[in-house]
Amino acid sequence: MNILITGASKGIGAAIAKELLSIGNVFVTGRDKEALKTIGAKAFCICDLSKDITNLQEFIKGEKIDILINNAGEYLYSAIDSTQPDTVDRIFTTNLITPIKLISTAVPFMKKNKWGRIINIGSISGVMGEAYASIYSSSKAGLIGLTKALALELAEYNITVNTINPGWVDTELGNKSVEDSEFTKEELIECIPQKRFVKPEEIATLCKYLISEEARGITGQGINLCAGLSVGI
């Protein structure tokens, strides 16, 4: 198995990469070369997913990637009328357009071998919506729609497509998102049924399961890993 994880220099992506080292050839991409070196992956590709991704697409073809984990994403907390058009373009490119392009690059090899796994890391904000995060929420909601449609399209090739929707995650990005919002971390935790942030390792373990043959019947699903946040308060 040749596995590619995007946004793997830290946080959720790094946790996923480290968890999967034992089951296949792990390849990672991100913007921080020094951080990627610490993962222990077979190889890495430096790429900014909001810009030109030609080098990453060639990397996918060259390494014959058959497990693609679209983890990289960017959060934005901003009123819709205060959000600049170039910011909208950047968020949608990173969170939705680039994953589409990477999937379309990887799928021919998966089809040829009649096996593949695609896992998109979405967000509970894409399931429920989040005030002042409409651009982020809608880009992640797009991943959920993409997942459902592609699961149908690729099922005959033994390729599964799923989205994991984390809630608040205990990472640098998660904590920065708290700082960008109008709430304290303590106030947010009070709104989470389990009264805690999800650990990135929990998401990594779920990825490992979705890759396994035991999970081959799971496709087209959006799995909410959110400590109960999607159920209610």
The set of catalytic residues is 136
- Identify residue 145 by its one-letter amino acid code: G
**Number of structural domains found in the chain:** 1
The whole model's pTM is what?
A: 0.94
Stretch 33-37: mean pLDDT, rounded?
Answer: 95
User: Is 132 part of any domain?
Assistant: yes
Residue 30 has pLDDT above 80, yes or no: yes
Q: Give me the domain span that covers residue 152.
A: 2-225
Band of residue 187 on the pLDDT scale cut at 50, 70, 90:
confident
Single out the residue of 60, 59, 54, 90 nearest to residue 72, CA to CA: 90
Rounded Cα–Cα distance for residues 141 and 92 (Å): 11
Which whole number is the average pLDDT over 198-225?
98
What residue type is 194 in one-letter code?
Answer: Q
Read off the pLDDT of each residue in 2-26 and give the average, rounded to a whole number: 97
Strands, E, within 71-170: which ranges? 116-121, 159-166
Q: What's the DSSP call for residue 169? A: B
In the structure, what pLDDT confidence band is assigned to residue 233 with cuts at 50, 70 and 90?
low
- Is residue 232 one of the residues assigned to a domain? no
153 lies in a domain? yes
Model confidence over 100-153: pLDDT tens digits?
999 999 999 999 999 999 999 999 999 998 999 999 999 999 999 999 999 999
Evaluate whether residue 212 is within a structural domain. yes
Report the pLDDT value the prediction gives residue 91, as an integer from 0 to 100.
Answer: 97
Residue 167 domain-assigned? yes
Which pLDDT belongs to residue 8?
Answer: 96
Residue 7 lies in a domain: yes
Look up the CATH number of the domain holding residue 145.
3.40.50.720
Domain for residue 233, yes or no?
no
CB 159 within 8 A of CB 200: no
Q: Does some domain include residue 230? A: no
